[in-house]
Chains A and B, each alone.
Chain A
Amino acid sequence: MLLYTLRRILEFVPTIFIALTLIFVITRLVPGSPITALIGNQSVDAAQIDAITKQLGLDRPILEQYLEWLPRVVTGDFGQSLFFSAPVAEVILDRFPITFALTFMALLVTVAVGIPLGILSAMRRGGILDYFGNVLSSLGMALPPFWLGFMLMLVFAVSLQWVPASGYRPMEFGFWSWLSRLVLPVLALSVSQIGLVVRMTRSTMIEVLGMEYVAMARTKGLRERTVILRHALRNAMVQIVTVIGLVFALGLGGSVIIENVFALPGLGELITTAAIRRDYPTLEGGIFYLTLVALVINLMVDLAYAWFNPRIRYA
């Protein structure tokens, strides 16, 4: 298991390299220059533009820029933000906890609701619960999260006024004041994820429940709870874990939209504004951190996968 973990971590290196290169190329392919965005409506002359361009290193050949950029970036140094007069890493670390709280809580809700609902649907196939689970998951997957976000906001924040509509407050101002501003975004994000998890859990559980070792577990006189949790779910988890990883990755993407809807100053919101302002260093750093999180999630999924599936571990 340790060897397996080390090997998986080693496989990170090329992936990170490719990710960084892609980030560099894509941000530079985006039309528009940071200079015009930086200057805005101020009237400046060509000499000033030249000076800024030089200062940012934008006048040099792209390959040269890349070779200078890559070794620096690998150490986590994305330079100064063009807009926030602070290092990119600092800006990102400021925003990251918000995105993390949002996606992680959404994942918790998704797992806590989706897996039990999927198991029960599989056990009572064709029953009322299965029917509800099916309707709910179809609906959840069909509704776009941003629309759902607005609807939740309308009902719970505007009409019922149970929670604030948008914005963010750090936990220092009180736990409830922090949580109340996250409840709706978490809900909006998790509803669509729950649908996916319910479906996957249901179908893998149905498959696993038909396996001979499940029949054998019953033949041995084990209690039904043991049969389901120890024999069936354990095997189904191999596949469910993969979906959970996928859901988290999707959640990171979804958080970009949700953060904008609810005006949460997270990483997603940062990336969006950085893209609009052509704030290259911030944009690159933001995307890179998201990529890194996705990679770490991937690693965790792989390790969980191996933990649930001994045949992988020894391969």
Chain B
Amino acid sequence: MSRQGVAPGAGEPVLQLEGVEVRFPSPHGSFAVVDRLSLSVTRGEILGVVGESGCGKSMLARSIVGLVPPPGRTVGGAILFDGVDLVRLSPDERRRIRGDAIAVVPQEPMTSLNPTLRIGDQLTEVLRAHRPEMSRSQRRARALEVMEQVGIQFAGQRLAQYPHELSGGIRQRVMIAMALICGAVKLLIADEPTTALDVTIQAQILELFVRLQSEEQMTVILITHDLAVVAQTAHRVAVMYAGCIVELAPVLDLFDAPLHPYTRGLLETLPRRGASASKSHLATIAGAVPDLARPPAGCRFFNRCPHALAGICDAALPALEPVADERWVRCHRWRELPAVAAAAVGAAS
């Protein structure tokens, strides 16, 4: 996997989110699952978006494609894609972008494929929607071509098969082929693309993403709860918690020196290579995400943070501050924390 040669963060942005807010109504008034989120995604990068389930990362993806499930709605902000604000487009204009310039690879290829339609029909219908000028045989040829590109063998045979006749890995390759079939994808959003697959297949699919990203020169947003996935593929990582980005950093920096206590917590849950069997159990971060219907006034991680300081942390929501080149963090105490953490390790040993 070569990720050299792409300078993370450099170059023009392909997608710019400015204060994007996704809200759901509830009996206690509406709550934001994505809270005034701003983020810039650079052309040609793989951006990992990491967080526990319920942190808003999937809703962010749906907001970008304009398919927040009702009664939820994208209520504010701008989503600039190649300079065009998607939020202001008509439903039909947004539909034309989906599956063409912006494509999504879903988490569960099995349930995302229609069980009653042949693979070929499900692939070519994307072309029917976006390339009406193509003939039937052209569509078929393109489907075969793109299936080959994603490494599906016996592509001709596969076209006539139904989803239940394929293995999980092939199904996910079909989903990826579906995203590429129009040949014009600029932004690929992969929402937990490997979660449903077993480990060896997972690695193959991730490798495929990295290869395709450079082949197709597309930008990838890789949404996952698994930092290991991000470590293998992404250039840059956005860590999300309770609807907000809490840390944004190039992938190596993030793993070398995590700044936000939540990022550290996530890193600690990773099984360490070489750890003895007794220690290799997966740690989890204690506590639960706060009730978004009544978000705390201060830091949203307050109730779970080992470094929380009453009076400071719960007083105001920390801002996403620039720390260094390309590094941002949302924590009142990030400056003191490396020292505090070191002291804690010293005390424990």
Contacts from A to B (Cβ < 8 Å): 211-213, 215-223, 226, 230-231, 234-235, 238, 308-311, 314
**Can you give 25 contacting A-B residue pairs, CB < 8 Å?**
A212-B112, A215-B67, A215-B112, A216-B112, A216-B113, A216-B114, A217-B114, A218-B67, A219-B98, A219-B103, A220-B99, A221-B97, A221-B100, A222-B95, A223-B129, A226-B125, A230-B117, A230-B125, A235-B114, A235-B116, A238-B116, A308-B116, A310-B116, A311-B115, A311-B162
Closest to B108 in A: A212
Known A218-B67, A309-B116, A311-B115; 17 more pairs at CB < 8 Å: A211-B111, A213-B111, A215-B69, A216-B106, A216-B114, A219-B98, A219-B106, A220-B129, A222-B99, A226-B125, A234-B116, A235-B114, A235-B115, A238-B116, A310-B116, A310-B164, A314-B165
B117 contacts across to A, CB distance below 8 A = 230-231, 234
A212-B106, A226-B125, A311-B162 given as contacts; is B115 within 8 A of A221 (CB)? no
B107 to chain A minimum Cβ distance, whole angstroms, is: 9
* Complex: A220 Cα to B175 Cα, angstroms: 10
- Chain B contact residue count (CB 8 A cutoff): 28
Asked if B96 lies at the interface with its beta carbon under 8 angstroms from chain A, I say yes
Let me know if B178 is at the binding interface, CB within 8 A: yes
A218 with B111: in contact, given A234-B116, A311-B162 (CB under 8 Å)? no
Q: In whole angstroms, how far apart are the Cα atoms of A310 and B165 in the complex?
A: 10
Which residues of chain B from 190 to 211 have a CB within 8 Å of any chain A CB?
Answer: none
Residues of B within 8 A of A311 (CB): 115, 162, 164
As a 0/1 sequence over residues 106 to 135 of chain B, the CB contacts with chain A under 8 angstroms (1 = contact) are: 101001111111000000011001100000
Q: B50 near A: Cβ within 8 Å?
A: no
- A314 / chain B contacts, CB cutoff of 8 Å: 165
CB < 8 Å: which of A216, A221, A234, A238 contacts B129? Answer: A221
- Chain A interface secondary structure, helix, strand, loop or mixed? helix
Question: Which chain B positions have C-beta within 8 A of A220?
Answer: 98-99, 103, 125-126, 129, 178
Closest Cβ–Cβ distance, residue A315 to chain B (whole Å) = 10
User: In the complex, what residues of B have CB within 8 A of residue A230's CB?
Assistant: 117, 125
Contact B113 A213 (CB under 8 A): yes
Set of chain B residues within 8 Å of A234, measured between Cβ atoms: 114, 116-117
B104 within 8 A of A: yes
Which A residues are in CB contact (< 8 Å) with B116? 234-235, 238, 308-310
B144 at the interface (CB under 8 A from A): no
A24–B96 Cα gap in the complex (Å)?
A: 65
B111→A212 contact, CB < 8 A: yes
**B32 interface residue per 8 A CB criterion:** no
User: Are B96's CB and A221's CB within 8 A?
Assistant: yes
- Minimum distance in angstroms from B156 CB to a CB of chain A: 18
Distance between B232 CB and nearest chain A CB, rounded to angstroms: 25
Chain A nearest CB, measured from B266 CB (Å)? 27
Closest residue to B179 on the A side, CB-wise?
A220
Question: Judging by beta carbons under 8 Å apart, are B108 and A221 in contact?
Answer: no
Whether A219 lies near B65 (C-beta < 8 A) is yes
Closest Cβ of chain B to A139, distance in Å, is: 30
Name the distance in Å between A100's Cβ and chain B's nearest Cβ.
31
Given the complex of chains A and B, what is the CA–CA distance between A102 and B117 in angstroms?
A: 35
CA distance A217 to B106 in the complex (A): 11
Q: Please give, as numbers and ranges, the residues of chain B lying within 8 Å of A238 by CB-CB distance.
A: 116
Beta-carbon contacts of B307-345 to A below 8 Å, as 1s and 0s?
000000000000000000000000000000000000000
Residues of A within 8 A of B100 (CB): 221
Cα separation A232 to B115 with both chains bound (whole Å):
11
A76 to B67 CA separation, bound complex (whole angstroms)? 60
In the bound assembly, the distance between CA atoms of A225 and B224 in angstroms comes to: 32
Assess whether A221 is in contact with B98, with CB atoms less than 8 Å apart.
yes
B contact residues around A308 at 8 Å (CB): 116
Distance in Å: Cβ of B109 to nearest Cβ of chain A = 9
* Residues of chain A lying within 8 A (CB to CB) of residue B97: 221
Q: Are A222 and B129 in contact, with the CB atoms below 8 A?
A: yes
Residues in chain B near residue A218, CB distance under 8 A = 67, 98
Bound complex: CA A226 to CA B126 (Å): 11
B73 CB to closest chain A CB, in angstroms?
16
Inter-subunit contact B112/A213 (CB<8 Å): yes
Q: Give the docked Cα–Cα distance between A231 and B165 (Å).
A: 19
Closest to A237 in B: B116
B115 contacts across to A, CB distance below 8 A: 213, 235, 309-311
Q: Which A residues are in CB contact (< 8 Å) with B69?
A: 215
**Measured CA separation A15–B336 after assembly (Å):** 81
Distance between Cα atoms of A216 and B69 in the complex (Å):
12
Out of B65, B95, B106, which one reaches A223, CB within 8 Å? B95
One of A221, A235, A309 near B126 (C-beta < 8 A): A221
